[in-house]
């Protein structure tokens, strides 16, 4: 049996609980369409983000209701807000679990290395062969240029 998006939307309204002004029924298609991008990433995410949006809509309706005590008769309106907040936390936890599943099931990225080091352009004019290139094995060039004056030995001052 295939479940249609309309059936999922009606189920979400039943899970959250409709408000007296039917704002969830009026806005469930819009909330579902807004979360369509999550469904492209991982289909269950669209359902859970839509549920989160419906919970927020219901919280918007019940936000100004407070607990009232009149002559021993107590009306606990704030329980609805508390229940919706706990439902919101559970929904956020489920979304975190789904993201962990998405990360665990995605494949590794493999590609050939196309460039290992930058290539410098060749010199514009070839250098003459008589250019005084330093000998890399010469003792004057040993040592580190980063450690100051004492690291390079002066071989001209040494006597054999």
pTM score, whole prediction: 0.62
For the CA atoms of 97, 18, 50, 89, the dihedral, rounded to the nearest 10 degrees, stands at -30
Does 122 score more than 60 pLDDT?
A: yes
Per residue in 80-120, pLDDT (tens digit) is 888 999 999 999 999 999 999 988 887 777 888 776 776 66
pLDDT value of residue 151: 47
What CA–CA distance (Å, rounded) separates 111 from 108?
10
pLDDT value of residue 112: 81
pLDDT value of residue 5: 92
pLDDT value of residue 31: 96
pLDDT value of residue 96: 95
What CA–CA distance (Å, rounded) separates 83 from 89?
10
What do you get for the CA distance between the two ends of the chain, in Å?
A: 96
Does 66 score more than 70 pLDDT?
A: yes
Higher pLDDT, 35 or 133: 35
Higher pLDDT, 140 or 158: 140
Mean confidence (pLDDT) of the chain: 81
What CA–CA distance (Å, rounded) separates 54 from 38?
16
Does 32 score more than 70 pLDDT?
A: yes
Select from 91, 103, 99, 100 the least CA-distant residue to 50.
Answer: 91
Higher pLDDT, 154 or 121: 121
């Amino acid at each position: 049996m295939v479940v249609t998006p309309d059936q999922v939307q009606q189920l979400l309204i039943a899970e959250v609980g409709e408000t007296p002004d039917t704002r969830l029924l009026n806005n469930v298609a819009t909330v579902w369409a807004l979360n369509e991008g999550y469904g492209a990433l991982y289909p269950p995410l669209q359902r859970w983000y839509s549920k989160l949006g419906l919970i927020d809509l219901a919280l918007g309706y019940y936000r100004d209701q407070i607990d009232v005590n009149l002559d021993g008769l107590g009306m606990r309106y704030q329980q609805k807000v508390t229940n919706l907040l706990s439902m919101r936390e559970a929904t956020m936890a489920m979304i975190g679990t789904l993201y962990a599943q998405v990360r665990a099931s995605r494949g590794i990225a493999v590609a050939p290395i196309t460039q290992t080091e930058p290539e410098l352009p060749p010199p514009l004019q070839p250098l003459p062969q008589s250019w005084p290139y330093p000998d890399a094995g010469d003792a004057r060039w040993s040592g580190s240029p980063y450690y100051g004056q004492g690291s390079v030995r002066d071989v001209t001052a040494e006597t054999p």
